[in-house]
Amino acid sequence: YHDDTCVSGRTVIVHLFDWKWTDIAAECERFLGPKGFCGVQVSPPNEHLVITSPHRPWYERYQPVSYKLESRSGTRGQFADMVKRCNAAQVRIYVDAVINHMSASGHGVGTGGSAYNTMNMSYAGVPYSALDFNYNCEINNYNDINQVRNCKLVGLQDLALSKRYVREKIADYLNDLISLGVAGFRVDACKHMWPGDIEAIYSLLQPLNITWFGPGTKPFVFNEVIDKGGGVISASEYTHLGRVTEFRFCDEVGKAFRRQFMLKNLRTIGEAWAMLPSDKALVFVDNHDNQRGHGGGGSTILTFHNPREYKMAVAFMLAHPYGFTRIMSSHVWNISHGQQDWMGPPSYDNDTTKTVTLDNEGQCLDGWVCEHRWPAIASMVKFRNVADGQPLENWFDNGFDQIAFSRGRNAFIAINNEVVGDLHRELPTGMATGSYCDVISGELVNGECTGQAVHVDQDGVALITISSLSNPPIPMTEEKPKK
């Protein structure tokens, strides 16, 4: 479950949070494929609750009603079409799988029309009955392992994953997705499931669909476990089951770019900071929870609300060799306009999700943030592909908040996060002699750089200039010119 299943040469996934399947299919073809993205993490595709108080929060999708592929993002047919079109565009689909629990309250029908009654633990669309759930207890002590894994997370009916029947129903769901051509899974709430139960479920999975993957290919799995050290359940209990989310990474990168400690310290971020081994970690600057104060979020997490620091932080993550990287692509909630952390995706009056529309610079409109389309972030996806497998070399720091490094001889980045203090220095870049385009301030078009050009001399040295006054200061990157 560790092999990323990307098309070769692609290394980065983007979470298109709450996007509709029809929009994701289009985005694979018009942007993600051409820009070299490996894949998309999609929101849970299975039938879920419709919550009306508060009105249609984003988190209703974390309250499953059945495993029918009928959700706020679209129908089964639309999902299947998306997977095909994205695979054809060389872009993989990774499904957010919510398998620890069902809904927390209410009765009626879900987004796919299946009847459910939370109190009786009956979910006709699967079907599950009260026999398929754990004891009716709440998690209120995270130091009690049995409680964390066998009781209800924020009231959500906790599935008895020790039961063969339940394991089979979940495996049927995941195998259905595999047969449609998905490449893997982000598995929700793994801390709340026994590693042995998860292993038993994964062992029932079929290899990926041979239309797009080699025979016997296993799904790529990244397990969600929030472990910042000091808890009774550690992320390393799950690393044999695929990659595991490394939440210490977002905290530390957030602190560094908020200038709570100096950027020069980031050189060794990773194992040396008690984080997971690089080949076991899934890293990100923010996710759909911690960007809005859920799931271990706090004031250190950087988001699109601080675009200047955020761009630098994402660029740093994509340039640094540690971990497998995921970019967040958000929808807006605006607290100063009275909107809360529960705000769902941009919607029309009839509650259906708005189509993602673009302005003539290719930036998103209508409440879709599309961080992945910000030029500085999109170009760094290419940087990571080009740098893949190359060591971090030619490190420079000025002792404070200016840093630079190369990835072998393939790519070079410099970042200036000083409040006052320009970077203007000759630096070793590791690159071969020649002229290069900075891919953050522009790109190579018809043999010319639309942004800054950088000349590397015969010793591999280049004069690098980044003003701290430019607004936002532009982190500086080079990449081999594309033929």
Catalytic residues: 188, 224
Q: HSE-up of 226 (CA within 13 Å, CB side)?
A: 15
For ligand ARE (CB under 6 A), the number of binding residues is 20
Interacting partner of 23 out of Ca ion, ligand ARE, none (Cβ under 5 to 8 A depending on kind): none
Q: Quick check: 158 binds Ca ion (CB under 5 A)?
A: yes
Shortest reach from residue 203's CB to ligand ARE, in Å: 22
339-to-62, 303, 334, 335, 349 alpha-carbon distances in Å: 20, 16, 5, 5, 17
Instruction: List b or e across 286-303, with b for residues whose CB sees 16 or more CB atoms inside 10 angstroms.
Output: bbbbbbbeeeebeebbbb
Q: Are the CB atoms for 222 and 243 separated by under 8 Å?
A: yes
Shortest reach from residue 308's CB to ligand ARE, in Å: 27
Q: Which stretch binds ligand ARE (CB under 6 A): 56-64, 207-215, 352-360, 373-381?
A: 56-64
Q: Are the CB atoms for 218 and 205 separated by under 8 Å?
A: yes
Residue 189 or 266 with smaller CB distance to Ca ion: 189
Per-residue contact string for residues 320-359; x = within reach of ligand ARE by CB under 6 A? ----------------------------------------
Residue 5 or 100 with smaller CB distance to Ca ion: 100
Pairing of strands 115-117, 122-123: antiparallel
Interacting partner of 131 out of ligand ARE, Ca ion, none (Cβ under 5 to 8 A depending on kind): none
Q: Which of 85, 152, 192, 243 binds Ca ion (CB under 5 A)?
A: 192
CA 212 – CA 92 distance, rounded (Å):
10
Angle at which helices 195-202 and 164-180 cross, to 10°: 50
Six-digit token string for 415: 């970042």
Q: Are the CB atoms for 284 and 226 separated by under 8 Å?
A: no
What would you report as the CA-atom Rg of the chain, rounded to the nearest whole angstrom? Answer: 23
Interacting partner of 145 out of Ca ion, ligand ARE, none (Cβ under 5 to 8 A depending on kind): none
Closest CA to 375 of 282, 445, 458: 445
Residue 134 or 306 with smaller CB distance to Ca ion: 134
Q: Which stretch binds ligand ARE (CB under 6 A): 185-193, 324-332, 347-355, 374-382?
A: 185-193
CA 173 – CA 447 distance, rounded (Å):
49
Shortest reach from residue 166's CB to ligand ARE, in Å: 16
Which conformational region is residue 323 in: left (phi greater than 0), alpha (psi within -120 to 50 degrees), or beta? left
Q: Which stretch binds Ca ion (CB under 5 A): 1-9, 97-105, 199-207, 261-269?
A: 97-105
Residue 167 or 192 with smaller CB distance to Ca ion: 192
Residue 128 or 412 with smaller CB distance to Ca ion: 128
Q: Could you tell me which residues are beta bridge partners of residue 368?
A: 331
Q: Quick check: 224 binds ligand ARE (CB under 6 A)?
A: yes
Q: Where in 122-181 is the site for ligand ARE (CB under 6 A)?
A: 142, 153-155
Angle at which helices 164-180 and 76-88 cross, to 10°: 50
Q: Which of 149, 191, 331, 372 binds ligand ARE (CB under 6 A)?
A: 191
Q: Quick check: 289 binds ligand ARE (CB under 6 A)?
A: yes
Q: Which stretch binds ligand ARE (CB under 6 A): 294-302, 306-314, 387-395, 466-474?
A: 294-302
Q: Quick check: 119 binds ligand ARE (CB under 6 A)?
A: no
Instruction: List b or e across 138-176, with b for residues whose CB sees 16 or more CB atoms inside 10 angstroms.
Output: ebeeeeeeebbbbbbbeebbbbbbeeeebbebbbebbeb
Positions that interact with ligand ARE (CB under 6 A): 59, 62-63, 98, 104-105, 142, 153-155, 188-189, 191, 224, 226, 231, 289, 294-296
